[in-house]
């Protein structure tokens, strides 16, 4: 893929998802690494290709994991300012936060980073946050979800547009492979930083990248493309199932004051794929943050099938089954 093809591919991804209209304000999350350096330069190229203006800002978080990270922030600042773009940075002790919360450094870094980016984008009135996930990252994400046993939702991978945060998160490079980004950087003579922790296979994502995917490529050299196609197919199927579930929900479920009531008999008549989605939709009415685990789904399925009288609690939610009536509501 040459530079022109790459620009057209990114432009097509954005247009297909109706993203970044004229005068959009875009905050680019940048680490100084090859992917994110390619991202904000490609956005400048796409804007020129469209003959439109975007206001692009570049934001970097120093996770304070490596000694050289402070110098990399200054290095990036010089390059961003030379392009006359707005530059934002913050330093946060992610390892300390990780230990305090008893979560992995990867999870801590992601949570803090997206929280900061969202707050910054809102304060500076950006319309979008752009991140540099590409096709290889998509494959790694799908495999990570598969290993964790996350079900069909995980097999969808990442989407080009995500509304998980207050500011929409956009991934313009999901149709682009890493090798194309590296070739672009080389042809445009764009320098970048190299993060040595990306080679540390103690981190799960790196182990997938450096150990598992190369082994899979020995079996199928096009495995990254195959995983991306599977992700797209699963997403289409999931959208259809969700539409079906919404129609059944509107027919079967009574919603009143943040509680749901359903007939056990009528719920039992639904295919298991719809039952699982209906349960998730019911608990989301009561608590929109709760995601049911496989163990929870097994318990709920047992209630539907056995017809026994039972009451149990999931987090702050109570599920009460009496005769033919199941009620889902919140603790007071």
| Binding-site residue set | 31-36
Distances (CA, A) of 38 to 44, 172, 181, 272: 10, 11, 6, 44
113: nearest Cα among 135, 91, 140, 138: 91
- How do 86-91 and 317-322 pair as beta strands? unpaired
Annotated binding-site residue numbers for ATP: 31-36
How many Å apart are CA 173 and CA 37, to the nearest integer? 12
At 34 the three-state DSSP class reads helix
How many Å apart are CA 13 and CA 291, to the nearest integer? 30
85: nearest Cα among 131, 115, 141, 126: 126
**How many Cβ atoms from other residues are within 10 Å of residue 93's Cβ?**
15
How many Å apart are CA 27 and CA 157, to the nearest integer? 23
Beta bridge partners of 128: 26
Q: For residue 106, what are its two tokens?
A: 């990867």
């Amino acid at each position: 893929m040459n530079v022109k093809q790459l620009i057209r591919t990114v432009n097509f991804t954005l247009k297909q998802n109706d993203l970044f209209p004229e005068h959009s304000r875009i905050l680019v999350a940048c680490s100084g690494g090859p992917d994110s350096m390619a991202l904000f330069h490609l956005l400048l190229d796409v804007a020129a290709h469209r003959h439109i203006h975007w206001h692009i800002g570049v934001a970097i978080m120093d996770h304070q994991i490596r000694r050289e990270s402070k110098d990399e922030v200054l290095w990036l600042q010089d390059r961003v300012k030379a392009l006359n773009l707005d530059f934002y940075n913050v330093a946060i002790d992610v390892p300390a936060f990780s230990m305090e919360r008893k979560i992995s450094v990867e999870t801590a870094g992601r949570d803090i980073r997206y929280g900061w980016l969202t707050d910054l984008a809102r304060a500076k009135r950006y319309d979008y946050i752009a991140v540099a996930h590409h096709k290889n990252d998509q494959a790694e994400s799908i495999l990570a979800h598969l290993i964790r046993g996350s079900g069909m939702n995980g097999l969808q991978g990442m989407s080009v547009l995500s509304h998980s945060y207050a500011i929409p998160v956009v991934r313009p490079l999901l149709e682009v492979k890493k090798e194309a980004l590296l070739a672009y950087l080389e042809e445009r003579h764009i320098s970048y930083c190299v993060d040595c922790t990306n080679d540390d296979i103690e981190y799960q994502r790196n182990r997938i990248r450096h150990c598992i995917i190369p082994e899979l490529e020995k079996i199928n050299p096009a495995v990254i493309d195959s995983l991306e196609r599977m992700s797209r197919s699963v997403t289409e199927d999931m959208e259809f199932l969700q539409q079906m579930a919404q129609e059944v929900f509107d027919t079967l479920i009574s919603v009143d004051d943040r509680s749901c009531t359903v007939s056990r008999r009528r719920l039992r008549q639904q295919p298991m794929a719809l039952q699982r989605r209906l349960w998730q939709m019911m608990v989301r009415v009561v608590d929109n943050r709760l995601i049911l685990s496989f163990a929870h789904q097994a318990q709920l399925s047992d209630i539907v099938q056995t017809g026994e009288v039972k009451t149990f609690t999931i987090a702050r939610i109570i599920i009460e089954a009496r005769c033919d009536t199941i009620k889902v509501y919140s603790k007071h």
